[in-house]
Structure 1
Amino acid sequence: GVDQLETYFGAYLPQFFYAMLAPLTLFVYVCTINVTSAVILLICVPLIPVSIAAVQTWAKKLLSKYWDQYTALGDTFLENLQGLTTLKIYQADEYKNSQMNEESEKFRKITMKVLTMQLNSISIMDFVAYGGAALGLIVSVLQFRSGHIDMAGCLLIILLSADFFIPMRQLGSFFHIAMNGMAASDKIFHFLDMKESEKGNQEFPDNHNISFRNVQFAYEAQRPILKNINVECPMGSFTAIVGESGCGKSTFAGILTKKNENFGGSITIGGVRLSDISEKSLMENVTYISHQSYMFKGTIRDNLRMSDPDAADDKMWEVLRSVKLDGYIKEQGGLDMKLNEQASNLSGGQRQRLALARALMRDNSVYIFDEATSNIDVESEDDIMAEVHNLARTKTVILISHRLANVVKADNIYVFSDGYVAECGKHEALLEKNGIYASLWNTQCEMENI
């Protein structure tokens, strides 16, 4: 649909202006031969744009539905393709196949409606165009029989009758393609017209104490995720956020990195409101590492230099040693080792170590680890956590983890529960409270000792 915008601007609009001027020019010329014939032909010409306008109202609604269904079918197909392995494992491919067939049938029906609409509108425009030309022929013959024009004038009007309607007819032929582009453009322009949140212009402060005061956030108005939370992350501290799945831990990180906006309450960094800090400056000082850090197809060097384009090889080997990945990389060809898309030729643990190495290249002020050790082997988890603890000695580190053994050494631990901060304190103090944290700790200890 977007490609057809070129037809709209490159063919439809120029033809539109040509279709307006050509009949007027011919009208002036035919008037020199016979005014009656010229007036009748000119009166018939607007019937084509009138029919186009009548069809356009109907076509715009229909094509909007067409592109909605087209997008839905594409989304379903892509989702099924990406999740094909999972569907096979759970033997749910037959169900998804039937679902795909339903989407395909809906698309087939709406496509047939569009084709029917196009055929009907073309038929109407052809009827008007050929009918007008035929009327011009009849009038010119009658004018000749009445002696108002000679034979040469009669033949000239007959030949020009078709030319009165050809520009409008050509306009109609571009109309349906143009309407496809216009329907698609409505969605594009709607997206472009969406108001962006106000961008800050202040620099990231040197004194970067992070403070959340009565912060609320909801993806949907009826379902709040964070409810008046208060969190303090002093500069140079090691702060941990823990809690059961769905309690708002990752949402907290998303707000701090400006991925989640429109929150309530107050968030400041070094006394400066988060919204007043420019996104560029924030990204230059805050590094976010999740359990799904993306690795690009290319080499180890290419991926590491995303953090520091001018980094020397020595610096890259230094961070690889710190995450204990240097030995394996050397065996595989060094920094020029080829990586597949999403580093699929590395294990889960190796990918996370490489993601941490890339983060360490930045040497930023604040590091946020969001379940960075999730779903990896124990050895890799231990190596990554050792580096996190080492980093916490000189940097501000916020660790979000479901595994409490990783947060024992944190300066302060915040326990999230149902969107609230239920408890906070050091590991030993929280165990003494015998509350939510102690319950989670005991449960995890029992499970890991089995």
Structure 2
Amino acid sequence: MTDVSAPPANRSPGGGPRGATARGRRRPAGPLGVLLRPVRARVRAAVALQALAGVLGLFPLIAVAEVARALLAAGGPDAARAWTWAAVALVAALAASALSAVSVLVGHLADNDMQLDVRRSLADRLGRVPLGWFSGRGSGRVKKALHDDIDEVHSLVAHTLPDLATVVTVPATALVYLAVVDWRLTLVALLPVALGVLLFARAMSGSMRRMAEYAAAMSDVNTAAVEFIDGITVVKHFGGQRRAHERFTRAADRFADFFIAWSRSTMAPSVGSFLVLSPVVVTVVVVAAGAATAALGWNDPFDVVPFALLAPALCAPMNVIGSRVQQIQAARAAAGRVADLLAEPELPEGGGASPEGARVVFSDVAFAYPPADGQGSGEEVLRGVDLVLEPGTVTALVGPSGAGKTTLATLPARFHDVTAGSVTVGGADVRDIPAAELYRKVGFVFQEVRLLRESIAANIALGRPEATRAEIEAAARAARIDERIQRLPRGYDSVVGEDAELSGGEAQRVSIARALLADTPVLVLDEPTAASDPVSEAAVQDALSELARGRTVLVIAHRLATVTGADRIAVMDGGRIVESGTHDDLLARGGRYAALWRAQHDATHDGGGDDR
């Protein structure tokens, strides 16, 4: 398969690869041209076949007019000519059907290959962007590109372009034939076309801008819907349905208002164009004009027959060209969004460095998230961070919300690259370690667990697909989830979302089993008990104790009571480490940690719960 993404060196300033002109110079190719390049020859073949099918499809109508002329000629019927035209009509009809079928086959095969290429390229690119990229973008955008946008391009390749070939060739063929029969009636038949085109152009005015607004509004609806559905369980539990769905309803209302306004502005010219170009109106106009000119002796009465049959063919395509143009515009916009994803900067692949041991060192680390518009530098969220994680110890990161705990904890796994300083694992800078090697060294247990729609066994073995069933079950037992799995309808073969419905704490223990099986020497835990209910929290804590044994562990903690036994507690505030030590040492100092401890302790005793 051809990779539709191009290296930066081959891209134009607009982002697309450069195409060659006839003179050997190169011109920028749009995103749509880039996506279609691997299948362009087959798309052209499908268009040409459909164009020829459209031309041949007119011959039966032409044959009717010519047969009528042969049978009703003033000198008597011309049977030979009539039979010849009948044979032409039959052969042309069969050939048109065959060519149309071949066009559909060629177009859909080309479309299948295009979709496969694009989806593979998107999956490959998204697999090589920084892991932190996903946290800053709504999943609606990725879903739209991988499914909706590619489907728009599918419609263009498999349907719209071949249809446009018919829209162009059928009227052109009919026009040539009618002009040969009577040029005056041909001019009359073109009058509705001219008026319909003017009305259509008015309806389509500003459509490119509005299509972009349409896509943006639809993307907002998709993102809001995905976020609402993902969080529906929590918001219903806490009675926040009204607040939670407000964003979705606002996005839907904005889309509805925009679409209604757009429809109203185009309704009158669109309806007018449709009426003027309708077959009934066109037929009445040309037949009336033909009857009048025949009465004046300007033409043979039989000349009216081909116009009655074929004049609607001059106008009928105009009734569908509007939707086809919109489909082309939608496909261009969709290709642009796909191209934007394909152009997302990749995380530079590390060199050949090989870490020795599991010591993690943050040296004068600074980090700023890139700005949303990609211009300039973003706000710095970490600055001057120095921290050492010794092998076999547990280090806890605590501090107020927004202090930079999660950002710092993701750096050893290269969710992002530091903007200053360095992070080393086993003596090697993480930027110099190949990704596969780094992920064998650094594991991550997320606060929000994501299980694939696969069997429980496959979910546990995600980091080690070659693991045996015995190893998978041993990891599950160590994570205190084996008994729950055994009670499922098909045990370890039960599929998540089908015959395996797990609570938050149970899903967390499956993810811990996954981390145990992966057996990485460095482990980052992002508040792993946050989604657990009080009943399952003890089991999760036991599983975490098993997981942390003998590893270098960095744990993000919002509830200080869960990390009092940590070997070291680092207190963050304002992107810096302001205190460091054991629980007892930090309490004795009476500083920032002691204040946080008192606040959480008082809130718990006052019935306010923990400070999450």
Q: TM-score range by the shorter chain?
A: 0.7 to 0.9
Contact 1:15 1:170 in 2 (8 A): no
- Structure 2 equivalent of residue 391 of structure 1: 550
Offset of 1:446 from its aligned partner?
7.3
Within-5 A mapping of 1:118-267: 120-128=269-277, 136-137=286-287, 140=290, 144=294, 147-172=297-322, 174=324, 178=327, 181-182=330-331, 185=334, 188-189=337-338, 191-203=340-352, 205-207=354-356, 209-212=359-362, 213-218=364-369, 224-233=380-389, 238-259=394-415, 261=416, 263-267=418-422
Opposite residue 150 of structure 1, the aligned amino acid is D
Offset of 1:146 from its aligned partner?
5.8
Report the 3-state secondary structure (helix = DSSP H, G, I; strand = E; otherwise coil) of the residue aligned with 1:319: helix
- Structure 1 equivalent of residue 511 of structure 2: 355
- Structure 2 equivalent of residue 402 of structure 1: 558
Contact 2:403 2:575 in 1 (8 A): yes
Offset of 1:215 from its aligned partner?
1.3
Residues 83, 352 of structure 1: alpha-carbon distance in 2 compared, 3 angstrom cutoff: closer
Once residues 309 and 478 of structure 2 are traced to their aligned partners in structure 1, the CA distance between those partners, rounded to angstroms, is 86
Contact 2:461 2:467 in 1 (8 A): yes
Contact 1:241 1:401 in 2 (8 A): yes
Contact 2:424 2:430 in 1 (8 A): yes
Offset of 1:119 from its aligned partner?
6.3
Within-5 A mapping of 1:326-341: 326=482, 335-336=491-492, 338=494, 341=497
Once residues 328 and 19 of structure 1 are traced to their aligned partners in structure 2, the CA distance between those partners, rounded to angstroms, is 62
Aligned with residue 26 of structure 1, among 174, 177, 183: 174
Contact 1:51 1:125 in 2 (8 A): no
Report the 3-state secondary structure (helix = DSSP H, G, I; strand = E; otherwise coil) of the residue aligned with 1:9: helix
Once residues 403 and 472 of structure 2 are traced to their aligned partners in structure 1, the CA distance between those partners, rounded to angstroms, is 37
Larger displacement relative to structure 2 (162-171 or 77-86): 77-86
Within-5 A mapping of 1:15-54: 15-38=163-186, 41=189, 45=193, 48-49=196-197, 51-54=199-202
Once residues 57 and 325 of structure 1 are traced to their aligned partners in structure 2, the CA distance between those partners, rounded to angstroms, is 62
Report the 3-state secondary structure (helix = DSSP H, G, I; strand = E; otherwise coil) of the residue aligned with 2:439: helix
Once residues 33 and 236 of structure 1 are traced to their aligned partners in structure 2, the CA distance between those partners, rounded to angstroms, is 94
Residues 306, 141 of structure 1: alpha-carbon distance in 2 compared, 3 angstrom cutoff: same
Contact 1:295 1:343 in 2 (8 A): no
Once residues 450 and 311 of structure 2 are traced to their aligned partners in structure 1, the CA distance between those partners, rounded to angstroms, is 65
TM-score by length of 1: 0.77
Residues 63, 251 of structure 1: alpha-carbon distance in 2 compared, 3 angstrom cutoff: same
Report the 3-state secondary structure (helix = DSSP H, G, I; strand = E; otherwise coil) of the residue aligned with 1:361: helix
- Structure 2 equivalent of residue 319 of structure 1: 475
Residues 140, 449 of structure 1: alpha-carbon distance in 2 compared, 3 angstrom cutoff: closer
Contact 1:242 1:402 in 2 (8 A): yes
Once residues 199 and 429 of structure 2 are traced to their aligned partners in structure 1, the CA distance between those partners, rounded to angstroms, is 58
- Structure 2 equivalent of residue 269 of structure 1: 424
Opposite residue 358 of structure 1, the aligned amino acid is R
Residues 308, 91 of structure 1: alpha-carbon distance in 2 compared, 3 angstrom cutoff: closer
Residues 349, 20 of structure 1: alpha-carbon distance in 2 compared, 3 angstrom cutoff: closer
Offset of 1:368 from its aligned partner?
0.9
Offset of 1:121 from its aligned partner?
1.2
Deviations 1:66-113 (A, max 9, x none): 455455455556655665565556555566788877666555544444
Contact 1:373 1:384 in 2 (8 A): no
Residues 351, 125 of structure 1: alpha-carbon distance in 2 compared, 3 angstrom cutoff: closer
Deviations 1:323-365 (A, max 9, x none): 4445665677895374754998555544433322221101223
Once residues 296 and 426 of structure 1 are traced to their aligned partners in structure 2, the CA distance between those partners, rounded to angstroms, is 38
Once residues 321 and 92 of structure 1 are traced to their aligned partners in structure 2, the CA distance between those partners, rounded to angstroms, is 37
Report the 3-state secondary structure (helix = DSSP H, G, I; strand = E; otherwise coil) of the residue aligned with 2:206: helix
Aligned with residue 9 of structure 1, among 157, 162, 173: 157
Residues 118, 63 of structure 1: alpha-carbon distance in 2 compared, 3 angstrom cutoff: farther
Report the 3-state secondary structure (helix = DSSP H, G, I; strand = E; otherwise coil) of the residue aligned with 1:230: strand
Instruction: Identify the structure with the greater strand proportion.
Output: 1
Deviations 1:271-324 (A, max 9, x none): 655445444443333210023223456654333222322322332343234344
Q: Which runs of 5+ in 1 are unaligned?
A: none
Residues 287, 188 of structure 1: alpha-carbon distance in 2 compared, 3 angstrom cutoff: same
Once residues 16 and 435 of structure 1 are traced to their aligned partners in structure 2, the CA distance between those partners, rounded to angstroms, is 74
Opposite residue 32 of structure 1, the aligned amino acid is V
- Structure 1 equivalent of residue 141 of structure 2: none
TM-score by length of 2: 0.59
Once residues 263 and 141 of structure 1 are traced to their aligned partners in structure 2, the CA distance between those partners, rounded to angstroms, is 83
- Structure 2 equivalent of residue 284 of structure 1: 440
Greater RCO, 1 or 2 (C-alpha within 8 Å, sep 6+): 1
Contact 1:48 1:129 in 2 (8 A): no
Offset of 1:35 from its aligned partner?
3.6
Contact 2:287 2:307 in 1 (8 A): yes
Offset of 1:372 from its aligned partner?
1.9
Opposite residue 269 of structure 1, the aligned amino acid is T
Larger displacement relative to structure 2 (308-317 or 376-385): 376-385
Once residues 158 and 449 of structure 1 are traced to their aligned partners in structure 2, the CA distance between those partners, rounded to angstroms, is 90
Report the 3-state secondary structure (helix = DSSP H, G, I; strand = E; otherwise coil) of the residue aligned with 2:317: helix
Offset of 1:223 from its aligned partner?
5.5
Offset of 1:416 from its aligned partner?
0.8
Opposite residue 290 of structure 1, the aligned amino acid is F
Contact 1:244 1:417 in 2 (8 A): yes
Once residues 57 and 262 of structure 1 are traced to their aligned partners in structure 2, the CA distance between those partners, rounded to angstroms, is 46
Report the 3-state secondary structure (helix = DSSP H, G, I; strand = E; otherwise coil) of the residue aligned with 2:316: helix
Opposite residue 367 of structure 2, the aligned amino acid is Q
Once residues 324 and 92 of structure 1 are traced to their aligned partners in structure 2, the CA distance between those partners, rounded to angstroms, is 33
Q: Which runs of 5+ in 2 are unaligned?
A: 1-147, 372-376, 607-612
